[in-house]
Amino acid sequence: MASKPRDTRARVSRSERGLVAWLKLPLVFDADALLDDARRISPQWWIAHFNPQDYRGNWTIAPLRGPAGETHPIRLASSDPAATDWVDTPALDSCVAIRHVLDRLECPIKSTRLMRLAASAEILEHTDHELGYEDGEVRLHVPIETSPAVEFWLNGQRVEMQPGELWYLNVNLPHRVANRSSRDRTHLVIDCEVNPWMEDLFQNTLNASTR
């Protein structure tokens, strides 16, 4: 039997200040089941990203968890730092595989959404605010549909993510994406609070990456 090719992708990177720029976490999910969930979501839940200055082409969001009391999809899709209570949206009701991902995360979950970058679209370089591990909040990505022609650049380095993997990305650092493929790129994006479970997961993964 032929041996499986060794995965040589970088699993962790640090910024010039020593902060973790990205980290591949040791959880893997069924990307096909996640894609089935994404395709079941009604078109009415997919909205254009609310920062049009940050992209070219078609970039849409389907909010799955948002600030309590909000009803407008744009407000539900936001990661409002002032929000203190977060609730599931009706779009999550039929998403069994996505619910499984959320159930595996033993930490408080805030904003959750699907983000779809159309073929030939680009997200321009930008930074977010207070969305790093050191701020007590992590942004996690699970690629659902992607291809080698999708280029995700973070802190000047390309991050190569495969469907079903779980990644922490420090989006306080400059990042940009170019979908140079002929199909959509879809990610599940989850904002979580750092609690003892997340601290253990993060530190254990970092320790394992240095062995």
Each residue of 24-57: pLDDT tens digit? 999 999 999 999 999 999 999 999 998 889 999 9
CA 34 – CA 95 distance, rounded (Å): 8
Tokens 């599931």 belong to which residue? 88
143 CB contacts (<8 Å, ≥6 apart)? 31, 161, 162, 163, 164, 165, 167, 185, 186, 187
Q: What pLDDT digit, counting tens, does each position of 138-195 carry? A: 999 999 999 999 999 999 999 999 999 999 999 999 999 999 999 999 999 999 999 9
What's the gap between Cα 173 and its chain centre?
Answer: 15
Question: Which of the given ranges, 47-61, 63-77, 121-135, 174-188, has the highest pLDDT on average?
Answer: 174-188
3 state SS of 147 = coil
More confident residue, 143 or 15: 143
Domains in the chain: boundaries: 17-209
| pLDDT value at 131 more than 70 | yes
CA 69 – CA 123 distance, rounded (Å): 30
Radius of gyration of the chain (CA): 16
| pLDDT value at 6 more than 80 | no
Please state the φ and ψ torsions of residue 67, each to the nearest 5 degrees. Answer: -60, 135
Tell me the helix, strand and coil percentages in the chain, rounded to 5: 25, 35, 40
Contact 137, 190 (CB under 8 A): no
pTM strictly above 0.95? no
Q: In the chain, what is the straight-line distance between the N-terminal and C-terminal CA atoms, in Å?
A: 28
pLDDT confidence bin for 18, thresholds 50/70/90: confident
| pLDDT value at 3 more than 50 | no
pLDDT of residue 81: 66
CATH topology of domain 17-209: Jelly Rolls (2.60.120)
pLDDT of residue 122: 98
C-alpha torsion sign, points 6, 208, 19, 132: positive
The mean of the pLDDT values for the chain is 90
pLDDT of residue 16: 64
